[in-house]
Amino acid sequence: MVRHPPSMIRAVLLDLSGVVYDGDTPIPGAVEAIARLRDAGLPIRFVSNTTRSPRQAIVAQLDGLGIAVSDDELLTPANAAVAWLTAHGCSPHLLVHPDLEPEFSGVQEGGLKAVVVGDAAEAFGYTAMNAAFRQLVDGAEFLALATNRTFKDADGGLSLDAGAFVAALEFAAGKQAIVLGKPSRDFFHAALVGLDCTPGQAVMVGDDAESDVAGALRAGIGLALLVRTGKYRTGDESRYAPHPTAVVDDLEAAVEWVVRKRG
């Protein structure tokens, strides 16, 4: 359901993996679609739930595709976690992918602890999970970089994402995690800071019907488009509420939809 008149579209939020690229390969038409948004004068914010790649690697990957990204155009859960830890005077107990650990190097050690969980891949194991559990039952805060159920892996199939491991720790410790990435309302709203745009005037484009689309609409984002690329599977559009504003083939079709509706 369209919640705002088309003329109210003033910014576009884009997921990355599965929308702009699959692995190291750009999705056909995606680079040109982003250029079209820029030509139309629509501000873009890339809102990624990736918790394996550091920010510098994401920027480099986009640059390699010919997509220049300014510092304020990319928002990741790791950025949000560092800001949260700093604001609350906590030092992290990390259960994340080794490649992501340097993102937390500037956070002050000592004081209160916060368990930070992302997609740790092979680093998930009993010893690591139990160490995080013990921190939680000893009073540590609990931060989840994301709670996605699955992601599209390099072999083209779906693999477990961080959500299952976050849920296991929540169950064992009896403590609910603070979610910092999508579908957190604060994460979507943080992406619009500095723009002359209310949440209701923004459009979200993603391949995850739960975190990207339903999450955005619950956060007050006005419109949310689901693309049939990336992790999308037939029937995703009806699995989670609120349902997508529209379902389109890919980012190129999404941009065509946005430009047409914007008038």
3-class DSSP string for 119-145: CCHHHCCHHHHHHHHHHHHCCCEEEEC
For position 81, what pLDDT does the model report? Answer: 96
User: What are the extents of the domains in the chain?
Assistant: 6-49+183-262, 79-179
Instruction: Give the C-alpha separation, 226 to 128, whole Å.
Output: 35
pLDDT for residue 214 is more than 60: yes
If 0-12 CB within 10 Å is exposed, 13-18 middle and 19+ buried, where does residue 154 land?
Answer: exposed
Average the pLDDT over 13-23 and give the result. 95
pLDDT for residue 4 is more than 80: no
Instruction: Give the C-alpha separation, 50 to 145, whole Å.
Output: 9
Structure confidence by residue, pLDDT tens digits, 164-183: 999 999 999 999 999 999 99
Tell me, yes or no, if the two domains 6-49+183-262 and 79-179 fold the same way.
yes
pLDDT for residue 238 is more than 50: yes
Average the pLDDT over 201-218 and give the result. 97
Place 187 in a pLDDT band, splitting at 50, 70 and 90.
very high
For position 2, what pLDDT does the model report? Answer: 41
Instruction: Give the C-alpha separation, 144 to 20, whole Å.
Output: 24
For position 61, what pLDDT does the model report? Answer: 94
Place 85 in a pLDDT band, splitting at 50, 70 and 90.
very high
The share of the chain scoring above pLDDT 90, in percent, equals 88
**Domain 6-49+183-262 superfamily per CATH:** HAD superfamily/HAD-like (3.40.50.1000)
For position 151, what pLDDT does the model report? Answer: 87
For position 71, what pLDDT does the model report? Answer: 87
Average the pLDDT over 30-55 and give the result. 95
pLDDT for residue 231 is more than 90: yes
Place 153 in a pLDDT band, splitting at 50, 70 and 90.
confident
Place 109 in a pLDDT band, splitting at 50, 70 and 90.
confident
For position 1, what pLDDT does the model report? Answer: 39
- Give the domain 79-179 fold: Rossmann fold (3.40.50)
pTM for the full model? 0.89
Phi and psi angles of residue 100, each rounded to the nearest 5 degrees, phi first: -90, -15
